[in-house]
């Protein structure tokens, strides 16, 4: 094999792409990587050095957790120097969470880490898995004058390359399973793969990859709904050891103005808790103070999540709580773009 050909590491974690029907259970279950490579003989035609690692046991991505993110990030760290790019095969259900988590964990990343998977198993005739896998590898290997085309954690799915921490799974039916509502696609694959270089994050000064493996899960996510009761809110807020609460609010960050509701939130903040306001809408940003129903949150000490997705909010919070003890530092970092996850100019 030509020494100069790109070297790509595939990390197989499971998901529909590698699933088959288990005749005993009658459900789809993930199986080993050789099943995928047998179905995609095209992998041998690339002329790249493609190696693979399977994260055992392979899982349906609903079973992913921070320990698995630590393993994925650790594999990238371990194989970073020897490879030009990484492709992570992952189930779609929690892919946006995993891609977001890795975007914070892999600090100073200078190489592509491309998540992909499929809506139909690779062995099925109409599978979307082949195209997703082949193009993800192509993107992971693409470089210009030695500079990788997309040195970011991304999701490639159904012809679109998106910044991972901007994505959300939007369909359990369409091949177009993901959207990036608040940030443009980084590339689109038609006859050619067209890169939107103005929107890709290129690293500045060369620095070494730093892998943050400490994640703290003392958080909760609360989706507001009309009729939410005080006893429910109380039980969430009084969860033992809770350090941060992400509230999914209405519209541009609005919430009820009932006295008991605001008092519960303000009480949690006074006791040292952090509350981050994220919108339930799939597009747009939190703008606290636009309406009275959000100004009250601001007065209670709630922090704006701006245009962050819930997936990025959850994983950013776990990362920040793992990294810093100082509450003010965490709040300061929540307002900053650490890996391109928020637009700070809105
Ligand atoms: N349940 C599957 C998973 O997330 C769905 C998929 O891969 O599309 O692992």
Which of 62, 63, 64 should be mutated for ligand 1, with most atoms under 8 A from CB? 62
Which residue range is the domain that position 19 belongs to? 7-211
Domain boundary among 211, 236, 253: 211
| 67 CB-near residues (< 8 Å, 6+ apart) | none
Domain boundary among 155, 178, 211: 211
Higher pLDDT, 346 or 245: 245
Dist CA 71 CA 55 (whole Å): 8
Percent of the chain at pLDDT exceeding 70? 99
CB 257 within 8 A of CB 296: yes
pLDDT of amino acid 22: 87
* Exposure b/e, 287-297, CB count within 10 A at least 16 = b: bbeebebbebb
CA 33 – ligand 1 centroid, Å? 16
Which of 14, 92, 123, 167 should be mutated for ligand 1, with most atoms under 8 A from CB? 92
pLDDT of amino acid 186: 98
| 20 CB-near residues (< 8 Å, 6+ apart) | 28, 29, 31, 35, 121, 123
pTM, to two decimals: 0.96
Of all protein residues, the one whose alpha carbon is nearest to atom 3 of ligand 1 is: 91
Phi/psi of residue 61, each to 5°? Answer: -70, -10
Return the structure tokens found at 268: 């949690």
Q: State how many domains the chain has.
A: 2
Distance of CA 295 to the CA centre of its chain: 30
Q: Is 344 contained in some domain?
A: no
pLDDT of amino acid 3: 52
Q: Is 138 in the pocket of ligand 1 (CB under 6 A)?
A: no
Q: Is 60 in the pocket of ligand 1 (CB under 6 A)?
A: yes
Q: Is 339 contained in some domain?
A: no
Dist CA 344 CA 114 (whole Å): 25
16 is an active site residue: yes
């Amino acid at each position: 094999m030509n020494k100069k050909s790109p070297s790509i590491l595939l990390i197989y974690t499971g998901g529909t792409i590698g699933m088959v029907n288990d005749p005993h259970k009658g459900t789809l279950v993930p199986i080993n990587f050789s099943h995928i490579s047998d179905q995609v003989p095209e992998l041998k035609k690339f002329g790249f050095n493609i190696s693979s690692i399977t994260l055992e046991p392979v899982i349906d991505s609903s079973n992913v957790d921070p320990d698995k993110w630590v393993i994925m990030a650790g594999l990238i760290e371990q194989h970073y120097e020897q490879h030009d790019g990484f492709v992570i095969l992952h189930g779609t259900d929690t892919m946006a969470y995993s891609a977001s988590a890795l975007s914070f964990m892999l600090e100073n990343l200078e190489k592509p880490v491309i998540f992909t998977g499929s809506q139909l198993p690779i062995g099925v005739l109409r599978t979307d898995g082949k195209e997703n896998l082949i193009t993800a590898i192509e993107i992971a290997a693409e470089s210009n004058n030695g500079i990788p085309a997309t040195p970011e954690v991304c999701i490639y799915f159904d012809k679109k390359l998106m910044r991972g921490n901007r994505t959300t799974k939007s369909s359990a039916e369409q091949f177009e399973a993901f959207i990036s509502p608040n940030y443009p696609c980084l590339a689109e694959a038609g006859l050619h793969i067209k890169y939107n270089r103005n929107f890709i994050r290129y690293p500045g000064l060369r620095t070494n990859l730093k892998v943050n493996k400490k994640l703290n899960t003392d958080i909760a996510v609360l989706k507001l709904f009309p009729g939410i009761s005080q006893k429910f809110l109380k039980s969430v807020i009084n969860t033992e050891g809770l350090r941060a609460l992400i509230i999914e609010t209405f519209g541009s960050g609005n919430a009820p103005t009932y006295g008991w509701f605001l008092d519960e939130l303000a009480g949690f903040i006074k006791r040292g808790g952090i509350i981050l306001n994220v919108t339930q809408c799939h597009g747009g940003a939190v703008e606290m103070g636009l309406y009275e129903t959000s100004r009250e949150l601001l007065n209670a000490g709630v922090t704006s999540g701006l245009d962050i997705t819930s997936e990025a909010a959850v994983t950013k919070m776990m990362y920040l709580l793992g990294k810093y003890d100082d509450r003010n530092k965490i709040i300061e970092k929540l307002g900053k773009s650490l890996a391109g996850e928020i637009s700070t100019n809105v």
